[in-house]
Amino acid sequence: MPSSRTVPSVVVAGALTAVLWVVTGRVGDWLSGASDVLPGALVRAVLPHPTGVAGGGPVSGSTLLAAALAGALVAAGTHLALRRLPAGTGRWATFLAVWFAVVAASALAATASWFAGVTLPWRADTVTELVATALGGWWGFVEGPLVALAVAVTRALTDRRDDPAGTRHTRTPATVRAWPAALAAGTTTGVLWAAAGVGRTLLPGAADAQSPWGVARDVVLLPSARLAVDVDALLADPVHLALPLGVGLVVAVLTALAARRLPPVEGTGALVLAVWLACSAGAALAAAVPVVVSTVQAGGVLPDAGRTLPVLESGLAWGLVCGVVVAPLAALVHRAAGARPDVAPEPAEDPWPAPTRRPEEHDARDTAPASADAHEAKAAAEPTEVDAAPQDVRARDEVGASA
């Protein structure tokens, strides 16, 4: 169950995702039909439909159920990322983890909506549609930063208010070096990208559109990762030669940001989701590079959205598959890395500053015990009236007897 510290962030993430699921589809449909200035492909790239299909119909019960499912999945992912993180740590990891939670929720909720309308028996193209829908998530990739930013703001506000007195100053969570996890994630992603490119070139049937591999060919062997084996052909195509380095660099930078101030044990869940998002983002960006380069070489400025969007979606799908291997590996390396050598334990500070007193208060409080001791000594030296009365009576009796 979410704790009192994480409940606000979890609620904000789930509720905002459900609202965006309903609103963005309606706004995208309206802009596509009412605007003559904005191209429909551009509108669908910026405001994609949650299920991947422009409906244009009214909001139905299945839409609300899919929105509730997406919100619940994002809330669960946010709780997984935040449940053990100390206050004030892992801001980048939280941002990227919530972003990936929205991507994964988008793919799963869209798959559930698609599955609700499928009739049996299944055909071969049905399996292809299932895989393509399950590895979609473009809506979550576009809308995810909004949800992640809302969670970051909510966490910044609630951490300061709900943190018990003193723990913010007395607890220093242990952090480890970020570069081993970044190096492992970036290197592994680059190697997998190069392996996919070589496999696209060498394996029989990998480049044949009619091969029985179907959609699995384009998911595992990404077309944008094509890498020639011949040295001359490889040097003649420097763009594809540099893509493994580019995708590895993007993943390494995002992983380093996520692991920068992240505790090794408490931040495992957040780091896994963050590195998974890094793989998806790096693969999507790298997949679009050949399209942009070819457009510029042909005399254009930027490719149109209708040509770029399918390439981005295919790169995102490859990154989702790649993250299954890279994200747990980066988390294990981060957990096994040694502590940062430049971080020395700081002495614990007082949770709150001690109250200060004015000089006259110090003098009054310091002289009070002295005056009390003087009064006690004087009282002990001088007899009281009660003690003096028996002495007077005894003296009169002695005088009377002697007389």
Strand partners, 339: 176
Predicted confidence (pLDDT) per residue in 49-65, tens digit: 787 665 555 667 788 89
Amino acid found at 286: A
Predicted confidence (pLDDT) per residue in 120-143, tens digit: 777 767 777 787 788 888 899 999
Higher pLDDT among residues 169 and 231, named by residue = 231
How many other β-carbons are positioned within 10 Å of the β-carbon of residue 135? Answer: 20
Predicted confidence (pLDDT) per residue in 363-376, tens digit: 555 555 555 555 55
Q: What is the pTM of this model?
A: 0.76
If you average pLDDT over residues 373-401, what whole number do you get? 52
Least confident of 83-92, 246-255, 315-324, 345-354: 345-354
Confidence at 5, pLDDT banded by 50, 70, 90? confident
pLDDT above 80: residue 403: no
Predicted confidence (pLDDT) per residue in 295-328, tens digit: 887 776 667 667 788 888 888 988 999 999 999 9
pLDDT above 70: residue 341: no
Mean pLDDT of the chain: 76
If you average pLDDT over residues 333-337, what whole number do you get? 89
**According to the model, what pLDDT value does residue 84 have?**
84
- Find how far residue 278's CA is from the centre of its chain: 11
Distances (CA, A) of 340 to 103, 176, 189, 215, 260: 33, 5, 25, 45, 11
pLDDT above 50: residue 35: yes
pLDDT above 60: residue 167: no
pLDDT above 50: residue 162: no
Angle subtended at Cα 247 by Cα 246 and Cα 252, rounded to the nearest 5 degrees: 100
pLDDT above 50: residue 351: no
Nearest to 25 by CA among 79, 84, 81, 70: 70
Give the tokens for residue 307. Answer: 């040509």
**According to the model, what pLDDT value does residue 262 have?**
87
Amino acid found at 88: G
Least confident of 100-114, 311-325, 330-344: 330-344
Predicted confidence (pLDDT) per residue in 232-284, tens digit: 766 777 788 888 999 999 999 999 999 988 888 888 999 999 999 999 999 99
**According to the model, what pLDDT value does residue 391 have?**
52
pLDDT above 50: residue 170: no
pLDDT above 50: residue 285: yes
Burial class (CB in 10 A: 0-12, 13-18, 19+), 384: exposed
Burial class (CB in 10 A: 0-12, 13-18, 19+), 207: middle
DSSP assignment of 43-109, as one string?
HHHHS--TTSS---S---HHHHHHHHHHHHHHHHHHHHHHTTPPTT--HHHHHHHHHHHHHHHHHHH
**Cβ-Cβ contacts under 8 Å for 187 (sequence gap 6 or more):** 248, 252
**According to the model, what pLDDT value does residue 92 have?**
92
pLDDT above 90 as % of the chain: 30
114 in Cβ contact with 130 (< 8 Å): yes
**According to the model, what pLDDT value does residue 344 have?**
47
Predicted confidence (pLDDT) per residue in 189-199, tens digit: 999 988 888 87
